[in-house]
Homo-oligomer: A and B are copies of this chain.
Amino acid sequence: MVTFMSGLEFWKSTFKGFQDAGKLYGIKTVYTGAQQFDINQQVSVLEEVIAKKPAGIAITAVNGKALAGPINKAIAQGIPVVVFDSDSPDSNRNIIVQTGNESAGRVAADTLAKNIGSSGEVAVLYVAGTPTLEQRAAGFKAEMQEKYPNIKVVASGNYSGEQMDANKAAAGIIQANPNLKGIFAGNSPGALGAIVAVKEANKKNQVKVVGFDADNSLLDAIKAGDAVATIAQGSYNMGYWSMNFLFQEKHELMNPVDGWKKNGINPLPSYVDTGVNIITKDNADLFYTKK
């Protein structure tokens, strides 16, 4: 498994899934990656991995275009490649395993609607220019419009992705919309920022917060009742199913049509949405990352 920002908490659960599936099949799993958010570094790491001729590679691409070359090189050498989380759509990869952010945003909308009683004014916090957060916000708005005629998304707050900035954006929205009943923030720092803004405005009983992702500090906030829920990506699923796809392709266990392999027929699904879990006070304890 090759990642970028390889120290990120998020990947631990992904690699755990990869390992668990590997154990089923007696496969040795190795975790590596670029320590930084650095294109050249990840290209180098992937080149080194290819040189070791592994039985398969699961990779999340810091930059889809830059990684396409080495991904195609691996595939040309007969090494099965699964791309997970961050895609390299222009490469010759057969499959992408990731969170469907648009549908995750819809789950966030359903969760907030349930908590505010299906009517009233709500807002969304997102990061312009970051596709995953834009897609979550778009899914949130689409779901509200299609399913909840009595809920109005009155504000879309753009923030940098950091807590302080989300705090400011949320405070402005709360002030401008005195009847606001809910906020969905597209990442974990955003949710923490919104929570602080709601507290500062003394509106904890009026404005419900739904977050995204599951840092331990956000889980604490949920248990304290400061946010009603957060939407957690299926990070374990990404690793677990990536291994299953690699293993089965490598050993050619399937036979979609006779001669599939030499004719370049994809034996794998083309796209897998690993889904989300709705974390609330009731199940938050399950999701803490052990230190």
Contacts and interface: CB of A to CB of B under 8 A. Distances in A.
A289 to B, nearest CB: 11
Interface stretch (A113-121, A204-212, A262-270): A262-270
Given A256-B236, A259-B286, A266 B277 contact: yes
Interface string A250-291: 000111111110010111111111111100000100110000
Q: Which of A234, A266, A275 has the most CB of B within 10 A?
A: A275
Contact of A103 (B100, B248, B270, B283): B270
Contacts of A17: 254, 256
Given A269-B241, A271-B272, A272-B272, A236 B263 contact: no
Q: Which of A236, A256, A267, A276 has the most CB of B within 10 A?
A: A256
Contact of A269 (B260, B266, B274): B274
A244 interface: yes
How many chain copies does the complex carry?
2
Contacts of A283: 263, 265
A24 interface: yes
22 contacts: A17-B254, A20-B253, A20-B254, A21-B253, A24-B253, A97-B269, A100-B271, A103-B270, A236-B256, A237-B254, A237-B269, A240-B254, A260-B286, A265-B277, A265-B283, A269-B272, A269-B273, A270-B273, A270-B274, A271-B271, A271-B275, A272-B273
Interface of A: 17, 20-21, 24, 97, 100, 103, 234, 236-237, 240-241, 244, 248, 253-260, 263, 265-277, 283, 286-287
